[in-house]
Chain A
Amino acid sequence: MELLLLLALLDGLAYAAQLFMVAVGLTLVFGVLKILNVAHGSLFAIGAYSASTLAALAGTPWLSLLALALAALAVGAIAGPSIERGLLARIYDKEQVLQLLLTFALFMILEDVQKLVWGVQPVFEDAPVRALGPVVVGGIVYTAYQLILLPGLAVVCLLFLVWFLRRTVTGRMILAVAHDREAAEAIGIDSRRIYLLAFTIGAGLAALGGALAAPTTSLVPGVGVQTIVLSFAVVATAGLGQIEGAAATALLVGLGRSFAVYFAPELEVVVPYLLMVIVLVLRPSGLFGGRELRRI
């Protein structure tokens, strides 16, 4: 029993770390651009597939770890700017429903791109996990990759983002635009550049989340939709645009799900949504979100 509890805890932690990486990108993009990128899950998937491919090519286990980072960087750097400049920039002043439809259309396209490039057979490459070997915690053998690297990177990522946004000039400009675009422009901030930057960071985080998740699971079509739905659940539960909130909620959802896996397996898929529904009924703007009222 105790062993099970510990196992659930470790699983939950590893899972939460992955979840946070994608969710935080989604929430950052929303916070700044006020657009929910439905294709965020596809970027995760493409990041994951690219990472698998690159890691398989890497040859040695240690190089394969590097390959993950490279893949994420490449996907973020290519997809981010081209999507933001090519598509999103055209619809910032349009109705919400059109923005949503646009990213949904992109999602449909990218899901097939991914199938055309990587096929529908499962793809699995765990060289990066093997590189780091196992660790033993309380009698349980676990991979260091999932137990140390993933949570470690998630924490680093959180700390870095918070530092970057609150302490650097560029970060503060991003926050200013997120808070009030017009006011930010009035004091000379180029919101177009901020949008580009924020979206690229968000896309990079999605790809990184995918790249890091890739070695722990076999990739199949549909990973994109699962990811967007799940990370939306995290982000909505936390409150849209909340970064630390996304971390706390990812932990909550990750643990909730892994405990469900061990103690109530039939509830596994439902747990994150159950949590979201309960939170949204009680607090429509999420656990950490505040309500904004339009001036009339």
Chain B
Amino acid sequence: MVGETRVSSPLLEARGLVLAFGGVRAADGIDLDVNEGEILAIIGPNGAGKTTFLNMVTGYLRPQAGSIRFRGREITGLTPRRIVRLGIARSFQIPQLFTEHTVLENLALQLAAREGFWAPFAPLLSRARSERALALLERFGLGELASVRADALDEGARKLVDVAMATALAPRLLLMDEPTSGVAASEKHAIMDRLVSALRREGVTAVFVEHDMEVVARHADRVAVWSNGKILAQGPPATVLADPAVHREVLGVEVAPC
């Protein structure tokens, strides 16, 4: 154990995170490691605190206690802007799109954010940037929607654009909040297949919140189960999803025996 953790010390370490909203303890002592290169799924019932965890890691909410380290560096209390620059990007449960822009422009703004954002007279949609944005969209099967305004998209497409935008930031750690909820079941797996294989190819570590156990079983290396602001269990999908206690907890949301 000692030798192993030395070799691959975790990319993200959360320790003792606590955050209460009034009486609701949305995080009640969260300890979690995310290792370099792995894909971790977070499951749990509504209101368990999954989104809150992502909000704390990305600096949107500040934990009342505990610490978060990324690549060994303390990031608790940093702003979202600082944290994303360190290499953590996220997508959102409720898509956060620039609704007056086209899908392509949404992507291009993310790409520009990484370089050349302040060049005052270089167009956002330069040839090179448009091509890169389009390539990213293709990965999500969104190529045809490139010139559609973001406020005209349906729920599933908005969700995918949101995820595509996060990947456009080329993070080391990608956090996704229910990336395929609202996406038609028929497309879901194909898109996740493409996304996950791209992530693995590019060596991106990923965490995704998911209610669909089939998706979890198929794509996650590891699963962590959230319940009332605590982590109930974690481990390989096969073991965790077979655990009756987990079944009971996650029941009511989705039962997907695997």
Contact = CB atoms under 8 A, between A and B. Distances in A.
B92 interface: yes
Interface string B79-96: 000000000000011101
A293 interface: yes
Contacts of A293: 60-61
A116 interface: no
Contacts of B92: 296
A295 B92 CA distance: 11
B115 to A, nearest CB: 26
A123 B27 CA distance: 63
B5 to A, nearest CB: 33
Nearest to B54: A296
B55 interface: yes
Interface in B113-157: none
Contacts of B61: 293
Interface string B49-68: 00000010000110000000
Contacts of A296: 55, 60, 92-94, 96
Query: Dominant SS at the A interface?
Result: loop
A277 B164 CA distance: 41
A295 B94 CA distance: 9
A282 to B, nearest CB: 18
Nearest to B94: A296
Interface string A280-296: 00000000000001011
A293 B92 CA distance: 15
A29 B192 CA distance: 49
Interface residues of A, number: 3
B233 to A, nearest CB: 27
A100 to B, nearest CB: 18
Interface string B173-185: 0000000000000
Nearest to B92: A296
Contacts of B94: 295-296
Nearest to B93: A296
Interface in A246-296: 293, 295-296
B50 to A, nearest CB: 13
Interface in A197-253: none
A296 B96 CA distance: 8
A295 B26 CA distance: 13
A95 to B, nearest CB: 11
A296 B97 CA distance: 12
A296 B56 CA distance: 12
A42 B60 CA distance: 40
A24 B150 CA distance: 41
A296 B175 CA distance: 14
A293 B51 CA distance: 14
Interface string A177-201: 0000000000000000000000000
B207 to A, nearest CB: 16
A183 to B, nearest CB: 14
A170 B94 CA distance: 35
A293 B61 CA distance: 9
A296 B95 CA distance: 8
A85 B93 CA distance: 37
A295 B93 CA distance: 10
Contacts of B96: 296
Contacts of B55: 296
Contacts of B93: 296
A26 B93 CA distance: 36
A296 B61 CA distance: 10
Interface in A125-144: none
Nearest to B61: A293
Contacts of B60: 293, 296
Nearest to B90: A296
A58 B207 CA distance: 76
Interface of A: 293, 295-296
9 contacts: A293-B60, A293-B61, A295-B94, A296-B55, A296-B60, A296-B92, A296-B93, A296-B94, A296-B96
Given A293-B61, A296-B92, A296-B94, 5 more contacts: A293-B60, A295-B94, A296-B55, A296-B93, A296-B96
Interchain residue pairs A-B with the least CB separation, the first 9 = A296-B92, A296-B96, A296-B94, A296-B60, A296-B55, A293-B61, A296-B93, A293-B60, A295-B94
